[in-house]
Amino acid sequence: MAHIIDGKKIAAATRADIAERVAAFEKENGFKPGLAVIIVGENPASQVYVRNKKKACEDVGMYSVVIEMPEATTQDELMDKIEELKNASAIHGILVQLPLPAHLDEEAVIAAIPPEKDVDAFHAQNTGKIMIGDYDFLPCTPAGVMKMLEFEGVEVEGKECVVVGRSNIVGKPQAMLLLHKNGTVTICHSRTKNLAEVTRRADILVVAVGRADFITGDMIKPGAVVIDVGMNRREDGKLTGDVDFASAEKVAGMITPVPGGVGPMTITMLLENTLTAAKKYINK
């Protein structure tokens, strides 16, 4: 049976370390790092995520503000709010919770966030920097995955790494971070032929497709490290990942559960980025 990677434990250890650095920052500068989270509309999952982000900030001693805007918010109103936060001295990180209501232009919103306050690392300037390996902010979920691998002593160099999923938020940046650690990286997606053949080569398999039970035990190399980024809700309301845990844990060497795996790490890396943003503000 696989070793279960405990995301909650790794997140708690990392957050304790961040809390110490936040306290030192405040002592030195006389103010707290500050994060503003904008949520538009009433998507219930987004409301839970946003609440968790605010609580996580407060738990490590940061300032945080949640800006709730109605479903009917116009593009101009949202842009004005971002402009206001851009100039707010107490706010060092800005995050607009996605997805936005369909009438709003997500790309334009991401482009409007000043790169130095872009704690999601979604702005083209930051994604470009990730590509060349000279980054200010690491994208939260892929960075959380790397932190877990490091914590568990998983060496990436020279390993066959397979990323299933090619989103701008997870798949693509995940592949880059593994590449920067000298992994041999393959990205799979919906048009990949013989997916199981590719995934069975993986020493490290990262799955981010958003489909419950997409990867089963027979698609995993014995002893592989399996990281499940999926967060799907079953009909009975239970959270489940993209990997069929029951069959996968019999084959894998290490595996992340859902919930309690990657999820807690994502918010942890957002905290890290907010502290980085506050330090940038000081050094400007």
Amino acid at 100: L
Give how far Cα 259 sits from Cα of 150, 220, 232, Å.
Answer: 20, 20, 10
* Nearest residue (CB) to ligand GUN, 93 versus 183: 93
* Nearest residue (CB) to ligand GUN, 97 versus 199: 97
* Nearest residue (CB) to ligand GUN, 224 versus 263: 263
Which residue among the candidates 120, 203, 228, 242 is catalytic per the annotation? Answer: 120
Burial of 122 (0-12, 13-18, 19+ CB in 10 A): buried
Instruction: Report the residue closest to ligand GUN, judged by CB.
Output: 98
* Nearest residue (CB) to ligand GUN, 199 versus 273: 273
**Is 76 one of the catalytic residues?**
no
Phi, psi dihedral angles at 256 (to 5 degrees): -95, 140
**Is 55 one of the catalytic residues?**
no
Cβ at position 193, least distance to ligand GUN in Å: 29
Which residue among the candidates 6, 32, 81, 97 is catalytic per the annotation? Answer: 97
Which helix (DSSP H) or strand (DSSP E) does residue 161 occupy?
Answer: strand 160-164
Per-state percent for the chain, helix, strand, coil, to nearest 5: 45, 15, 40
Distance CA 232, CA 262 (A): 13
* Nearest residue (CB) to ligand GUN, 95 versus 204: 95
* Nearest residue (CB) to ligand GUN, 98 versus 239: 98
Segment 76 to 95, residues that bind ligand GUN, using CB under 6 A: 95
Total number of residues that touch ligand GUN (CB under 6 A):
6
Peptide bond before residue 257 is cis, with ω within 30 degrees of 0: no
Q: Does 195 bind ligand GUN (CB under 6 A)?
A: no
Question: What six digits make up the tokens of 98?
Answer: 């996605």
**Is 97 one of the catalytic residues?**
yes
Segment 92 to 151, residues that bind ligand GUN, using CB under 6 A: 95-98, 120, 140
Three-state SS at 244: coil
Which residue among the candidates 32, 53, 117, 181 is catalytic per the annotation? Answer: 53
Cβ at position 90, least distance to ligand GUN in Å: 20
Segment 155 to 174, residues that bind ligand GUN, using CB under 6 A: none
Cβ at position 140, least distance to ligand GUN in Å: 5
Cβ at position 3, least distance to ligand GUN in Å: 27
- H helices present in the chain, as ranges: 7-29, 44-59, 75-86, 106-112, 124-132, 140-151, 171-180, 195-199, 245-248, 262-283
* 68 C-beta neighbours (distance < 10 Å), count: 13
Binding residues for ligand GUN, per CB under 6 A?
95-98, 120, 140
Active site residues: 53, 97, 120
